[in-house]
Each structure stands twice: as C-alpha cells, then as structure tokens.
A and B are shown apart, each in its own frame.
Chain A
C-alpha cells in the first residue's frame, strides 16, 4: 500500500519549457489535489478534483492545467514554465472533498531557470 505517489521528485526546467507532474493514489479515494509550497507561504491549492471526471480551480491556478485520468491518477501540467513556478509541489488525496484527512505525496521540487 504505497499511499500517494508522485513523480518526478526533482526537476529543473528552463523558462518556457513544459512538463507534467504525475500523481497516483492506491487508497480508493474520490478526491485529489495539487498544492504548491513556497517558503513562508504555507500550502496553496492549485487545482482539485472532487471526484473522477471533475476538476476545479483552487487559489492559484494560473499557469497550470490538470487532468483526472481515472480515479487513481491526477496530473498537473505546466505548459510554459516561468521562474515564479519554482516551488515544491504536493499531490494529496482524501476520501471525499469535504471530509477529513488529506494524505500527501512526498513532494516534487521544481526549479525553473
């Protein structure tokens, strides 16, 4: 039982490049989330998927897109990376979107030069 797995763990991009962060959970959770964590800023929600087939914007969605591929997988795409997107990205899941504990992945550290 791996919980929430995200890849890659580290990535360096040049400004304007694109990339996709992958996330998968094996807990049969309905809801999945992407957060970014910046020093002194806490965790800010980028996008979430309350259930398979739905996605919604969070607090800081600009510059990102997401895909809920199936119940297990939720990917985050940066179409044209900018230095302001340098951050640590966490995927998380929960049983449902309005109840209880978030289970986080290990994080992906992204640097945009």
Chain B
C-alpha cells in the first residue's frame, strides 16, 4: 500500500547549523506535502506545505523542496535555534485527493 518513509528518525545539530529531513513517498498521484512540528506534549502544527506544481517553497528559515520524479521531498531548517527542537512529521496525500499519510517522525535536537 501507499507509505511515506522519513529519515533520519533522530537528528542532533548545534545551534546555528542547518538541519535537513528527507521523506519519500510511494503514490505517484500524491499532490500535497505538508510538514508538521510537534513540541513535547503539544499538538502537531503545520509549519510549511508544498503542492505538486511547485518545486520549492520558503518561509523565513524553513524551506521545503519537492522532486516529483524521484518521489521525495525534504525540509530544510537554516540557522537552527533551541526552540526548533521538536518532532517533525512529513505527510503526503493518498492519491490526488485522499487523506494524509504521515511519516514516522524525526526528533530534532538543537544544542545551544
């Protein structure tokens, strides 16, 4: 069935460094790819998303890139700060109009 693979499962960086999280998906009809951030004990919240007709999207220190041919997309966080420490989830639609399938998450730790 359709699935979303996310790597790495844990990531530790120094404050100020960049962090990259990668996801691959199996359904070539997927057309919407959001990223959610979940701080410890909190609810997941959308931080950025991209649709299949766009290759890259930026929002301040956060960017997402999409390679539809290879069926992978990535989250890039530059100039990381301690408050970026959280679990990040990628997701992709099941088909072109289906529900989201989530990756298993990446725990990012930013060390001061």
Interface residues of A, Cβ cutoff 8 Å to B? 33, 40-45, 48, 58-59, 90, 97-98, 100-102, 104-107
Interface residues of B, Cβ cutoff 8 Å to A? 6, 9, 32, 34, 36, 42-46, 49, 89, 93, 97-105
**A90 vs B100: C-alpha distance in the bound complex, in angstroms?**
14
Are A101 and B104 neighbours in the complex by a CB distance under 8 Å? no
Most buried by A among B32, B97, B99, B105: B99
Please, which residues of chain A bring their CB within 8 A of the CB of B100? 45, 102
Are A41 and B104 neighbours in the complex by a CB distance under 8 Å? yes
Q: Closest chain A residue to B6 by CB distance?
A: A42
Are A90 and B99 neighbours in the complex by a CB distance under 8 Å? no
Are B44 and A90 neighbours in the complex by a CB distance under 8 Å? yes
Task: Label chain B's interface by main secondary structure.
Answer: strand
**A105 vs B98: C-alpha distance in the bound complex, in angstroms?**
21
Please, which residues of chain B bring their CB within 8 A of the CB of A102? 34, 36, 44, 46, 100
Of B46, B49, B89, the contact of A43 (CB 8 Å cutoff): B89
15 residue pairs from A and B, CB less than 8 Å apart: A40-B104, A45-B100, A59-B101, A100-B32, A100-B49, A101-B46, A102-B34, A102-B44, A102-B46, A104-B43, A104-B45, A105-B43, A106-B42, A106-B43, A107-B43
